[in-house]
Amino acid sequence: MKSKKVRVLAIPYAVWIVGFTLIPLMFVLAKAVTSPAGGFTFDNLLAIFDPVNRKSLILSLLLAFISTVMCILISYPVALILKSSKIKNKKILMFILILPMWMNFILRILAVQMLLSKNGIINHFLTMAGLSPINIINTPYAIVFGMVYDYLPYMMLPVLNCILAIPDDIIEASRDLGANRLTVLRRIIIPLSLSGIGSGITMVFVPSMTEFVIANILGGGKIQLLGNIIEQEFSVTMNQHLGSGLSVTLMIFVLLTTLLFGRHEDTNKGFVL
Amino acid sequence: MIGKTLRKIYIGLVILFMYAPIIVLIVLSFNNSRSRVVWGGFTLKWYSALFSSSSYMNAFYTTIILAVLSAGIATVIGLAAALGITAMRKRNIQIMLFFTNIPLVNADIVTGIALMLWFVRFLPLGFMSVLVAHVTFNMPYVILCILPRLDAMDMHQFEAARDLGAGIRYAFWKVMLPDLMPGIFSGFFMAATMSLDDFVITYFTKGPGVNTLSTKIYTEIRKGIKPEMYALSSILFLLVLIILILINVTGNNASRSINKTIEEK
Amino acid sequence: MKKKIMCLIMSVCMLTLCACSATGQTAGEDNSEEQSLTVFNYGQYFEPEMLELFTKETGIRINYEEAATPEELYTKYVSGGISYDLLCTSDYMIKRLIDEGEAKEVNYRGMEHFKNINPEFLKLSDSFDPGNKYALPYFWGTVGILYNTTKVNGPIDSWDVLFNGEYSGQIIMQDSMRDSFMVALKYLGYSLNTTDEKKIREAADLLKKQKPDVESYLVDEARDEVVAENAVMAVVYSGEGYLGHEYNPDLAYVIPKEGSNLWVDSWIMTKNCKNTEAALKFLDFLCREDVAKANFEFQYYSSPNKTVVDKMDETLKANNAINPSYDSLKDCEVFEALDEKTTALYSELWKEIKSE
């Protein structure tokens, strides 16, 4: 398949990226390196090192990391169970798991708030069962809960896709050759599903870095993530230059991590296969 | 046996986790009180109010058309791109993925305002500008869904088909595409969802009078979401559920009958 | 079967493409006989049926656009992507738009129903629109405390309850920079428009000290949280104060005795407005008794329209959220646009407070 003809297929996409991603990005970059009064400056880019912004960046990274790991931990067993189950129609189960995404996102987060709040639905059931109520609303835990809830399907889909695509013969063959379950998992399923996990990580980690609605609603506005700060620079203080600057540094930062991660994944693959 | 029950319980818990908020919202759509935290008894009035409100119904149609259309375009371009990208050298793959990630990394509000500033130069803000914006942020999701599937795919089958004399197009349609289908489908599905959920980018790129459910909800957050919105979202949810069930049922029947004919032969 | 799905997807795409090109045509068609206005307003701030009524009566079509915050409205307006004819926003943003030359002078006094507007509010608008040349008052209100009468010890009449630690973990503040600073400044006895750095820093220190006691910073969702009894009190806008009492009779609204923010949302005609005659018709329509009443009953913010207030039933008239006494308003002030330096100070301090 490594023919020129096939590579040509990527051209429309490349054109689209240039036209609607890179050119608008230039506008952002231009704003990022100028001050509101006009004139060139690096201040907006360096603003990420301000104590307040740095603190939010670290918190954002931490929460995004925890959410991503939780998403992997929840969806991987689901994929394994589905893979080994004898249910004929695995696709319908898959749909059941991603269907909630068709409820509007803001509404879903508001519903999560109602579940978690002090006099919320979960606490109602807990006290009815004679247990002590949980009090996680307006804390970082609630934000992680919301992020995991919202982004789980983005992890679930690629992981499921990848694991269900592993041919059964390979697994059977290795079982025949004496591999036990753990070995099959370690030597075959995990390596073959790495690219799915990689996609999932990108789709969960990256958006959760710039998210602000979840933090606003479930964090009670008490927790500032970098996404909130960027959003506020645009919509409250109207300093689009600072907002762009922070956004650009965040972008560079995240893209570099994904690039590093991509390398890492490749070497891994080369090693295992 | 215990393992099996444990598995079932696990899947059940995950499904409960995913559906509890949905159930809350559906219950709210029958709530007679305007406030979301007060239960005022059962009512269907929001549903009837909905159908007589042209602004809600217009937003509903625009949302669906936009989701399907933008996801469709993104899927076609994205599938082509994924095939093209896998045929590239490793280094170029990295570069392409780097650019693919950009729309994901940018905060929505930054993307929205940047696109708006760009569009006002040549494209009148309206439905088209929103569509272009949606296709732009949908494509990464499609590509990220299809690429792993392409990676995990057994290329030998495709090569075997080629060796047996199948043309490249024939082999693609008959061998490769069926294998890629789940990836394509989930890419399309995810793209449509992203389109459905987005509000900031839509808000800044839309023209006068163009509204989606999300932009309506977004402007309503401050003063309190109107109950009609819960009703409308519940309808949309059920609609998608029904479509998916239909596809699965007819799909199964079709594949079963194909299997039958093959067996008979 | 998989091909079938693909076919299905494709056919759905084609269908929608046809459908939307059809709808796009009707929307884009510039019927020369049909007049239209592009109107920009906050979300949930206009009874939709009244828009339909206007079109029915005059034949003028309304392109109705909504924004969530004044800043968003401004950003979208200045980008120039859409040419708006009329817009409604808050006092300080109106001032900014007037100062930037975006508003068009309008002779409101020539309108048939202008006499319905209470002159008191024109006097009030003088602070951001000297001489009442540009702005037509639409709604007004105050900021105060919505609290649960069954859960407080003693009467609530001062901002003090938010700062004395008595209700730690039971307080919801406004998630808005100026509103939160306003509360602290007023509590300290300063003007909410002060540009004195020392006073502003003092207010910020107070807010920082208060943060551990605050359950959450919310906007209008705060009302629902108090209704659900997740918190005892919240700083809210007067309309939410009224609705809170409607949903939960235990709740009450008070304008603290130290004074508060008095706000006025008004309409202006933009400099891009070509069809001034149609725009004037729309503004006149807004002042009409039945329309003003319908819009008032849509969200219960106070109306500057005399006919609405006069014909209100007694319970509404006596409600201090909808119809506050002149006495309770005597220490209230209208926001003014802050200079650049003060704005920068505000946002820096607010960011510090929020990330404590």
Provide the residue ranges of all domains of chain B, joining segments of one domain with +.
Answer: 55-243
Look at C81 and B55 and tell me if their CB atoms are within 8 Å. no
Closest CA–CA distance from residue C88 to any residue of chain A (Å): 17
Tokens of A246: 């922070």
Query: What percent of chain C clears pLDDT 70, i.e. is strictly above it?
Result: 91
Q: pLDDT tier at A85 (50, 70, 90 boundaries)?
A: confident
Residue B246 in contact with partner chain A when CB distance is under 8 A:
no
Burial class of residue B128, CB neighbours in 10 A (0-12, 13-18, 19+): middle
Q: Where are the domains of chain A?
A: 47-272
- What's the pLDDT at C241? 93
Residue C174, H or E segment: strand C171-174
Q: Name which of C181, C351, C352 to mutate to probe chain A: the one with the most chain A Cβ atoms within 10 A of its Cβ.
A: C351
Look at A13 and B81 and tell me if their CB atoms are within 8 Å. yes
* Phi, psi dihedrals of residue C231, rounded to the nearest 5°: -150, 160
CATH topology of domain A47-272: MetI-like fold (1.10.3720)
C142 has which bridge partners? C262
Q: Is the per-residue pLDDT at A116 higher than 90?
A: yes
- What's the pLDDT at C17? 46
Interface of B with A in 192-231 (CB under 8 A): 193, 196-197, 199, 213-214, 217-218, 221, 225, 229-230
Interface of B with A in 157-196 (CB under 8 A): 158, 168, 179, 182-183, 186, 189-190, 193, 196
Residues C55 and C31: beta-carbon distance below 8 Å: no
- What's the pLDDT at A238? 82
Q: Which residue in chain C has the smallest CA separation from A54? A: C355
CATH topology of domain C36-140+263-318: D-Maltodextrin-Binding Protein; domain 2 (3.40.190)
Q: pLDDT tier at C24 (50, 70, 90 boundaries)?
A: very low
Instruction: Mention every residue, 6+ apart, whose C-beta is less than 8 A from residue C118.
Output: C304, C305, C306, C309
Residue C263 in contact with partner chain A when CB distance is under 8 A:
no
Contacts of residue A234 in chain C, CB cutoff 8 Å? 75
Q: Is the per-residue pLDDT at C39 higher than 50?
A: yes
Is the ipTM above a cut-off of 0.95?
A: no
- What's the pLDDT at B156? 75
Q: Is the per-residue pLDDT at C88 higher than 90?
A: yes
- What's the pLDDT at C22? 40
- What's the pLDDT at C5? 47
- What's the pLDDT at B262? 54
Top CATH class, C141-262+328-355: alpha beta
* Weakly modelled stretches of chain B, pLDDT under 70: 1, 251-265
Look at A16 and B139 and tell me if their CB atoms are within 8 Å. yes
Q: pLDDT tier at C21 (50, 70, 90 boundaries)?
A: very low
Q: Is the per-residue pLDDT at C6 higher than 60?
A: no
Tokens of C295: 């819009």
Residues C239 and C300: beta-carbon distance below 8 Å: yes
Closest CA–CA distance from residue B184 to any residue of chain A (Å): 10
Nearest to C217 among A56, A118, A221 (CB): A221
Nearest to C216 among A119, A221, A240 (CB): A221
Q: For residues C146 and C245, give the distance between their C-alpha atoms in angstroms, rounded to a whole number.
A: 9
Residue ranges in C29-68 assigned as alpha helix (H): 48-58
Interface of C with A in 175-194 (CB under 8 A): 175-177
Query: Which residue has better confidence, C4 or C280?
Result: C280
Look at A16 and B153 and tell me if their CB atoms are within 8 Å. no
Residues B31 and B37: beta-carbon distance below 8 Å: no
Name the average pLDDT for chain C.
88
Q: Is the per-residue pLDDT at C25 higher than 50?
A: no
- What's the pLDDT at A123? 92
- Strand C35-42 to strand C86-90: parallel, antiparallel, or no bridges (unpaired)? parallel
Give C106-142 as a DSSP string: --GGGSTTGGGB-HHHHHHHTTTSTTSSS-EEEEEEE
pLDDT tens per residue, range C274-314: 999 999 999 999 999 999 999 999 989 999 999 999 999 99
Look at A1 and B148 and tell me if their CB atoms are within 8 Å. no
- CA nearest neighbour of A151 among A69, A216, A90, A218: A69
CATH topology of domain B55-243: MetI-like fold (1.10.3720)
Nearest to C63 among B73, B204, B208 (CB): B208
Look at B81 and A99 and tell me if their CB atoms are within 8 Å. no
Residue C224 in contact with partner chain A when CB distance is under 8 A:
no
Q: Where are the domains of chain C?
A: 36-140+263-318, 141-262+328-355
Residues C230 and A118: beta-carbon distance below 8 Å: yes
